[in-house]
Amino acid sequence: MKPRWLFADQLGPHFLDSPDQPVLLVESKAVFRRRAFHRQKAHLVLSALRHRATDANTRLVRTETYAEALTEPVSVCHPTSRAARALVQRLPDVEMLPPRGFVTAPHDFVSWAEGRNHLRLEDFYRFARANHDVLMDGGEPTGGRWNYDADNREPPPRRMDVPEPPAIAEDDIDAEVRADLDRWERDDGIEFVGNDGPRRFPATRREALARLRHFVQHRLPAFGPYEDAMLAGDPWMAHSMLSPAINLGLLDPLEVIHRAEQAYRDGSAPLNSTEGFIRQILGWRDFVWHLYWYFEPEYRAANELRARRELPKWFAELDADAVGARCLSDVLKGVRDHGWVHHIPRLMVLGNYAMQRGWRPAAVADWFHRCFVDGYEWVMTANVVGMSQFADGGRMSTKPYAAGGAYVNRMSDYCKPCRYDPKVRTGDNACPYTAGYWSFLARHEDALRANHRMRRPLQGLHRLDDLAVLVEQEAARGSRAP
When asked if residue 395 is in the footprint of ligand FAD (CB under 6 A), the reply is no
Q: How far is Cα 11 from Cα 407, in angstroms, rounded to an integer? A: 39
When asked if residue 375 is in the footprint of ligand FAD (CB under 6 A), the reply is yes
CB of 454 to ligand FAD, least distance (A): 20
The interface region with ligand FAD, picked from 170-178, 297-305, 371-379, 474-482 by CB under 6 A, is 371-379
Site map 152..191 versus ligand FAD, x via CB under 6 A? ----------------------------------------
CB of 388 to ligand FAD, least distance (A): 4
Yes or no: say if 249 and 352 are a contact pair by the CB < 8 Å rule: no
Give 51 or 219: the residue with its C-beta nearer to ligand FAD: 219
When asked if residue 41 is in the footprint of ligand FAD (CB under 6 A), the reply is no
Choose which of 347, 349, 362, 396 interacts with ligand FAD (CB under 6 A). Answer: 347
Residue type, 122: E
When asked if residue 388 is in the footprint of ligand FAD (CB under 6 A), the reply is yes
When asked if residue 127 is in the footprint of ligand FAD (CB under 6 A), the reply is no
Yes or no: say if 479 and 309 are a contact pair by the CB < 8 Å rule: yes
Go through 242-252 and write b for each residue having 16 or more CB atoms within 10 A of its CB, e for each that does not: bbbbbbbbbbb
When asked if residue 346 is in the footprint of ligand FAD (CB under 6 A), the reply is yes
The interface region with ligand FAD, picked from 122-130, 282-290, 329-337, 444-452 by CB under 6 A, is 282-290
Q: How far is Cα 405 from Cα 412, in angstroms, rounded to an integer? A: 10
Closest by Cα among 299, 378, 382 to 78: 378
Output the CA angle 83-12-387, nearest 5 degrees: 50
Site map 302..341 versus ligand FAD, x via CB under 6 A? ----------------------------------------
Choose which of 181, 203, 246, 415 interacts with ligand FAD (CB under 6 A). Answer: 246
Choose which of 26, 134, 242, 362 interacts with ligand FAD (CB under 6 A). Answer: 242
Choose which of 38, 50, 285, 333 interacts with ligand FAD (CB under 6 A). Answer: 285
Burial class for 92, CB neighbours closer than 10 Å (0-12, 13-18, 19+): exposed
When asked if residue 52 is in the footprint of ligand FAD (CB under 6 A), the reply is no
CB of 361 to ligand FAD, least distance (A): 11
Closest by Cα among 400, 429, 338, 407 to 375: 338
Q: Is the CA virtual torsion 389, 391, 392, 395 positive or negative?
A: positive
String of DSSP letters for 66-113: HHHH--S-EEEE--SSHHHHHHHHHSTTEEEEPP-SSSS-HHHHHHHH
When asked if residue 273 is in the footprint of ligand FAD (CB under 6 A), the reply is no
When asked if residue 379 is in the footprint of ligand FAD (CB under 6 A), the reply is yes
| 156: Cβ contacts below 8 Å, ≥ 6 apart | 226, 229, 230, 231, 237, 411, 412, 413
Instruction: State the residues that interact with ligand FAD by CB under 6 A.
Output: 239-243, 246-247, 277, 280-281, 284-285, 288, 342-343, 346-347, 351, 368, 372, 374-375, 379, 383-384, 387-388
